[in-house]
Chain A
Amino acid sequence: MNFNFSEDQLLMKEEVKKLLDKENSVKRNRNILEGEEKFDKELWDQLVQMGLTATTIPEEYGGIGMGFLELCVIAEELGRGIAPVPFSSSVYLATTAILNSSNEDIKKEFLPKLASGEIIGTFAHSEKTTFPSESGISVAAKSGKITGKKVAVPDGDIANFALVSATSGKNKVGLYLVDLSADGVKVDSLETFDPSRSHADISFKNTPAKELSPNAWEDIEKLLDQSAVLFAFEQVGGAEAAMNQAKDYAMGRYAFGRAIASFQAIKHKVADMYISLQLARSNCYYGAWALSNDAPELPTAAATARVSATKAFYECSKENIQTHGGMGATWEFDCHLFYRRARLLSSNIGSQGIWKDKLITSLEKSNSPS
């Protein structure tokens, strides 16, 4: 058996890591956080140039025809580097949604441009303040036009188009592709918890929309499961970076005449980070297997990966600050960049409570959890 990534995939992971290290993506995160730009266009262009946005797109649509496993290793590195780019919105979500659909016209029109980075897409789903259930979608679709409001859409003020969940009647939620420069679209950028990733409220008023899939709740659930695995890898990458920061700082910081890394209170703290990280990583690997094989276990595997990765990133990022002491809580140190990103990723695509509930629901359905 080979329950691991292939050598080629690991090589690719290393290449992405090298690029992000060379470009100092953590510093770039800070620049976006403190500056006026909504994302790091320069870094984005380099990722595009490397072909990363084309990863899962088949060659016939201008992509490079690799799979989700490659996307998993890329996600981990983007998380490690807390890269300030709209990759999750455009690639994990928008690209995957279009790949999932059987709408050949949309595929032909959008996939080549997504691959080349010419356009950026996003998924507009949240309404009010909660992650919606099927009956909670109020954006309405009628005769090829949508009306209503989505909130806190990731990269909503960066993306050229959005896939919008909208209802055309009772329990009839569809997924609609909307050009964000079209008539009736109003985008309001938000001041956010983690300004390294831009979010916006988007209102639609009789905005033209192309139907990607008509009765799409199952498709949306599937898209969320698929992207949950990718988000989880990103979270694991971030968690590992935070754990290593804590460890490195503790080794170099002396107090009471010795490295604080020699105190059990600190060692056990870092060991706890390691434990939650390993559990998350192993669950992510299983998620990657289910995702790349489109296995029936995907809902369970995705929720498991998502829940444990969310937990790991939170734990590692908060205890990283604690290990640093007072300096860890300054604006100057990078600890808070990871702490912010951990929290942001926990909310994107639905919070911990939602995914825990999804996990137990899928176990109840499959009835054979072990």
Chain B
Amino acid sequence: MDFNDTKDEAKFRDEVNSWLSANADKKEHAKDIYRPAEMSGESESGESSALKDAKAWQAKKYDAGWACLHWPKDYGGRDATPMERVIWGQEESKFKVPGGFFEIGQGMAGPVLMLYATEEQKKRYLPPMAKGEEIWCQLFSEPGAGSDLAGIKTKAELDGDTWTINGQKVWTSGAHYSDYGIIVTRSDFSAPKHKGLTYFFLDMKSPGVEVRPIKQITGGANFNEVYFTDVKIPDSQRLGEIGDGWKVSLTTLMNERLAVGDASGVDFQEIFELAKDQDFNGDAAISNGAVREKLADWYCEQSGLKYTKMRNISALSQGSTPGPEASITKIVSANKLQDIANYGMDLMDNASIARDEETAIFQGSLLGAPLIRIAGGTDEVLKNIIAEQVLGMPQDIRVDKNVPFNEIPTGSKN
């Protein structure tokens, strides 16, 4: 039992490190992250500056052969092993580099294109996706279909070899700066709900596509509503057979679980430092037994996730497939984030009400956590997945399974 690289891994790590050292600045500590020139995090200008920097860094990696490492060389990758990809990620995270715009394209759209697009399309779209030249978004959720994704209503009608799309998507990250999107639509309303879906990719600049930002409870706007009014998509941009959209969607969702990682925001370190600094009945909060018990619980969760990840990486290093253990990551980290943020504000007592340098990260995490518990599979959906796919328990009985979609009842909140 060890944490050591194999000879090949060590050699690869050296190679990665020497390229990164020559092309980026190393972080001086964990919090020393990249910040764009005009930073506000939420304003339009902050984002565009961050986007410009991210594109430049991605292009630099691409040119040197460090983008989408595990993809085939023909499509802009490096043909790297899963372990090499992990090593790259570990090393890159030690440097102050921008990111955060390409994950959906590279993590979700890319793998689907690789499975379902024509060779010509793959050669056309995958390299610019790897390079960060073209950004992709995922158009799945709708106002009436989130966890029950197969309940979507966006309509696709075929006339000759052109489809016409009408409807509305929601919770689309990055739609406002995306060039292309992957979309699942309903092409047959009289078929049972999983059987009437068809999957496409489209140009987000197509006439009839309208993107509107959604203001979240944090005050930020990272997601959008996207409206489709008579949007035309050529049949050549269909991925999978007509009516097979559910199967294609599942491929995408499998990759989504890999793309959605730890929740960012306050973690053990922040609450530990706060408890040391914060006064509690005339003493440091950390000297209080109740506080210590809370801290210990969160440390155990953080550590448990860390070494769960290590077990997975180890499986990759040994040439085997990682187990399903990682499915617990988002549930645990999002709930931990929410509880630590709330407890931090408790420890700060009345001082937690005002927004200042110290409270901001706790306040922001508390407001951001609910969305993380929902995005990319709610806690409840993830628990179903653990029960069904990891533990082999039966699916729920589905009252709408074999009913024509247009006969399934809907309620007042759909």
Contacts and interface: CB of A to CB of B under 8 A. Distances in A.
Interface of B is mostly: helix
B133 interface: no
A1 B299 contact: no
B304 A308 contact: yes
B383 A267 contact: yes
Nearest to A353: B293
> How would you classify the secondary structure of chain A's contact residues: helix, strand, loop or mixed?
helix
A258 B395 CA distance: 11
B313 A3 contact: yes
B325 A288 contact: no
Interface in B260-309: 267-269, 272, 276, 286, 289, 292-293, 295-297, 299-308
A62 B289 CA distance: 46
B307 A285 contact: yes
A253 B33 CA distance: 53
Contact of B390 (A272, A274, A282, A303): A274
B224 interface: no
A359 B308 contact: no
Contacts of B3: 1, 3, 289
Contacts of A271: 382-384, 386-387, 391
B380 interface: yes
A329 interface: no
Interface range, B side = 35 or more
B159 interface: no
Contact of B387 (A6, A270, A279, A307): A270
B311 interface: yes
B397 interface: yes
A304 B384 contact: no
Nearest to B309: A282
A37 to B, nearest CB: 37
B311 A275 contact: no
A44 interface: no
Contacts of B304: 278-280, 282-283, 304, 308
A274 B328 contact: yes
Contacts of B388: 267
B109 interface: no
A278 B292 contact: no
B5 A1 contact: yes
B380 A262 contact: no
A210 interface: no
A288 B301 CA distance: 17
Interface string B87-120: 0000000000000000000000000000000000
Contacts of B297: 307, 311, 356
Contacts of B303: 282-283, 286, 304, 308
A2 B286 contact: no
Interface string A1-30: 111111000000000000000000000000
B314 A3 contact: yes
B296 A356 contact: yes
Contacts of A108: none
A268 B385 CA distance: 10
B393 A262 contact: yes
A261 interface: yes
B310 interface: yes
Contact of B317 (A1, A266, A303): A1
B40 interface: no
A370 B289 CA distance: 21
Interface in B339-393: 380, 382-384, 386-388, 390-391, 393
Interface in A242-281: 247, 250-251, 258-259, 261-264, 266-268, 270-272, 274-275, 278-280
A262 B383 contact: no
Given A259-B394, A288-B1, A282 B310 contact: yes
Given A2-B318, A270-B387, A311 B300 contact: yes
B161 interface: no
A69 interface: yes
B393 A4 contact: no
Nearest to B5: A1
Given A285-B1, A369-B272, A279 B317 contact: no
B386 A274 contact: yes
A360 interface: yes
Contacts of B397: 258, 262
B286 A267 contact: no
B242 to A, nearest CB: 32
Contacts of B276: 364
A283 B1 CA distance: 14
B283 to A, nearest CB: 14
Contacts of B396: 262-264
B299 A261 contact: no
Contacts of A221: none
A369 B314 contact: no
Contacts of B337: none
Contacts of B313: 1, 3
A242 to B, nearest CB: 14
A250 B393 contact: yes
Contacts of B272: 363, 369
A283 B293 contact: no
B394 A3 contact: no
B318 A363 contact: no
B114 to A, nearest CB: 29
Contact of B305 (A262, A279, A360, A369): A279
Contacts of A275: 328, 331-332, 386
Nearest to B383: A271
Nearest to A275: B328
A183 interface: no
Given A4-B311, A275-B331, A280-B304, A356 B292 contact: yes
Identify the interface centre among B310, B315, B317: most chain A CB within 10 Å of its CB: B310
B380 A279 contact: no
16 contacts: A1-B313, A1-B314, A2-B2, A247-B391, A267-B383, A268-B387, A274-B391, A275-B386, A279-B305, A308-B304, A353-B289, A360-B295, A360-B296, A363-B299, A364-B286, A370-B302
A-B residue pairs, 3 tightest by C-beta: A279-B304, A267-B387, A356-B296
Given A3-B313, A282-B310, A369-B268, 10 more contacts: A1-B6, A2-B2, A3-B307, A4-B318, A247-B393, A264-B384, A289-B1, A289-B2, A304-B300, A308-B300
